[in-house]
Amino acid sequence: MKLYDFLLGFFVATLVISNIVTIKVFEINLLGLDLVFDGGALIFPLSYIFADIFTEVYGYKKTRKIIWIGFIVLFIFNLLLYVTIILPPEDSWDSSIGQENFEKVLGISPRIALAGIIGYFWGEFTNSFVLAKMKIINKGNYLWFRVILSTILGQIVDTALFCTIAFWGVIDFYSMINYILTGYVYKVSVELILSPITLIVIKKIKKIENMDYYDHYTNFNPFLLKVGD
């Protein structure tokens, strides 16, 4: 697998970067509508494109391991941020940079961190499961339809879980629904816009890897991990 490690590295980098920039929530007025986004919307949709590539080329079993790798990396990343923040600052560092400034920039609340990890985990597995199953049903045809459908369903799960867990009781109900719908429509729109490129990349990688996996006999349990898979 010539490109597998390269793609895995970019996938994990996408998750970590999105986890940092998602701290910023901003509002854009578009056509008279006040649309609410977080910074993660700028890059997180790419993680679904990577998941589509992994599932379509290497199969669900390989993708299951990749999703778990991302889950573990996100957990360690957020844990280290939390530990670093609570450690007492050295005096000269605190006076020049400031513990308060550090916390403001990187102080992801445990609730938001948990929401992001849970949303990512179940959203990615939904996306991969739907894509792999539809590939079998459609006998490898209609790749564009399968990519879009899997993203639509995966993003419903991801966005709804993240926003509900992170912001229920924190922001008013109208703002939360706005946040969910805006983020969801945006992420799916990005997938639609980039789908021609996604299809070209998938076909190119299949040719380079000489691989086009079908999960005919795969156990789709997301918790079934084997070292040899």
Tell me the pLDDT tens digit for each residue of 106-161: 777 778 888 889 999 999 999 999 999 999 999 999 999 999 999 899 988 988 89
Residue 27 has a CB neighbour count (10 Å cut-off) of 12
> Residue 188 has what pLDDT?
84
For residue 69 the two structure tokens come to 């790798």
For 105, residues 6+ apart whose C-beta sits below 8 A from its C-beta are 23
Helices (H), 138-213: 143-167, 173-209
CA-CA distance, 66 to 73, in Å (whole number)?
11
User: Cβ distance 55 to 132 under 8 Å?
Assistant: yes
Residue 38: closest CA among 27, 22, 18, 14:
22
Q: Is-contact 20 75, C-beta < 8 A? A: no
Instruction: Answer yes or no: are the C-beta atoms of 215 and 61 closer than 8 Å.
Output: yes
CA–CA gap between residue 107 and residue 85 (Å, rounded)? 7
Contact 53, 6 (CB under 8 A): no
d(CA 27, CA 180): 13
What is the H or E stretch that residue 222 is in? Answer: none
pLDDT for 218 = 92
Domain boundaries along the sequence of the chain: 4-209
CB–CB of 41/187 below 8 Å? Answer: yes
Question: Confidence band (pLDDT; 50, 70, 90) for 73?
Answer: very high
**Cβ atoms < 10 Å from Cβ of 217:** 6
Question: In this predicted structure, which of 18-22, 56-60, 64-68, 124-128 has the lowest mean pLDDT?
Answer: 18-22
Distance of CA 184 to the CA centre of its chain: 12
| Chain centroid offset of residue 119 CA | 8
pLDDT, residue 90, reads 81
Per-residue pLDDT tens digits for 157-205: 988 898 888 877 777 777 778 778 877 888 788 888 888 899 999 999 9
Q: Which two tokens stand for residue 193?
A: 């816009």
Q: Terminus-to-terminus CA distance in the chain, angstroms?
A: 14
User: For residues 134 and 150, is the Cβ–Cβ distance under 8 A?
Assistant: yes
Residue pLDDT, tens place only, 214-229 = 999 999 999 987 755 5
Q: What is the pLDDT of residue 228?
A: 56
pLDDT of residue 45: 77
Comparison of pLDDT for 90 and 218, the residue scoring more: 218
Encoded amino acid at 165, one letter: I
User: For position 136, what pLDDT does the model report?
Assistant: 95
